[in-house]
Amino acid sequence: MKIISVKSVYEELKKNKKAINNVIADVKKGDIQGFTPPSTLVGEFNYPRVSVGIIFTTDENAYLYDSPKYWVKTGYDVAKIFSMRTTLVNARDKIDVRKPDERFMQDVSFATMSKNDLSIDLKLSKTYDKSFLSETVAPHGIMADLKSFRLNENFRIEKPIEKVYYDRDFKATEAITYLYKNGIDDDKINKILSVGAIGVKRRLVPTKWAITAVDDSLGKDLIKEIKDFDAGEEYFIKTGNVLGNHFVFMFMKGKWSFELIESWNRDGNSLMTGEGDYELYGGRKDYVQNTAGAYYAIRLAVLEALKAVKKQFSVIVLREITPEYFAPLGVWVVREGARKILENPAESSPGMSELIKNAKSRLLYPIDIEIKSKVINLKEKQKILSDF
């Protein structure tokens, strides 16, 4: 599902053209000093020979360009984030994941793991004036071929990250869980996984894959925990809007199950509702087909909320993508948006029919929830297996 309004993207790029041109002019000099948030991007095209890029800015306040939690907390809008991200440069080199340049990848790993912003010197060759847009990965504006780079200052690595980096006995899934439980942000964890800095058999992982892998791995671990909690007896919803993504969370009495249904309205006139994805108490055996990385990101936020209240629920999430979300900013939008909205007060309903009615009243775009939802249909038709 593409969430792009071509006209709005064009207008925003046009407004930002002067800043973008200034960055391009600097980059075309070939030798440049920049600052990394720190951030890297591993592509998936032509795998196993992929591009590995250092994402940098010429602005000393580099951290502002890669701070999803800060953006949501302080109320940045879509246009501001899009404008900032499109002045970033992805200085990239081609690397074979089966036999990477060890010295280059060590420097990339240290830059990625660093807690602090880093000043870097880069030698660049060809520059491409091309914007990168992805539903999973945050955008950047300019691409350049990287000859070499050098870190100009000492990097600082937090102790949990240092532990899993030097301990080769940590499996990747164990390292992901360990970092998360020791306070390392999931956005940071997926970057570390992507550059092959954790695990027993270490290998580069395309950033898009790493993001979903981290969300899925952490979610599965939390599911094990919440299954030990009592099943909730209430019916309630939570609603809200973050960055043009409107959510209605439906919590239903019973054991754990989860479903995500998405609707989107690209230009304010054309509404589309996709086929959702779901899992029952026994979980899924295959990757979701319709809602992709958003499923695992939102599921993680829901599981965190259930862990906080120490209860199981059957949860249906209705995500509505409005024209305000004119360009994809990355899957972090739904993860951080869901987390923020799940802090909102709950609106209770006495039973299932009232819950559905209440949820419908909160939707921006009407859909027949009771027809569209696989989970509701299974409940209503009493096709409830022993693992539901």
The rounded average pLDDT for each run of 10 residues, N- to C-terminus, in the chain (388 residues) is: 76 87 89 89 93 92 94 95 93 92 91 92 86 83 91 91 95 97 96 96 94 97 97 97 97 96 81 91 92 97 98 97 92 97 97 96 92 89 50
Specify the pLDDT at position 380.
Answer: 73
- Report the distance separating Cα 330 and Cα 39, nearest Å: 14
Residue 320 backbone class (left: φ over 0; alpha: ψ -120 to 50; beta: rest): beta
List beta partners, residue 282. none
Specify the pLDDT at position 381.
Answer: 67
Specify the pLDDT at position 388.
Answer: 46
Helices 6-15 and 17-27 pack at an angle, to 10 degrees, of 70
Specify the pLDDT at position 38.
Answer: 75
Distance of CA 334 to CAs 136, 273, 292, 341, 365, Å? Answer: 10, 17, 12, 10, 18
Tokens matching residue 195: 């550059």
SS3 327: coil
Sign for the pseudo-dihedral over CA of 380, 383, 386, 388: negative
Specify the pLDDT at position 126.
Answer: 87
Tokens matching residue 183: 């306070």
Tokens matching residue 377: 């249909």
Give the DSSP H or E segment for 107. helix 102-113
**65-74 long-range Cβ contacts below 8 angstroms, 24+ apart:** 65/37, 65/39, 66/37, 66/39, 66/138, 67/37, 68/138, 68/187, 68/330, 68/332, 68/333, 68/336, 69/185, 69/187, 69/336, 71/336, 72/242, 72/243, 72/336, 72/337, 72/340
Give 45's contacts (C-beta < 8 A, 6+ positions apart).
Answer: 51
How many Cβ atoms sit within 10 Å of the Cβ of residue 125?
10
Half-sphere exposure of 190 (CA within 13 A, CB side): 24
Specify the pLDDT at position 1.
Answer: 54
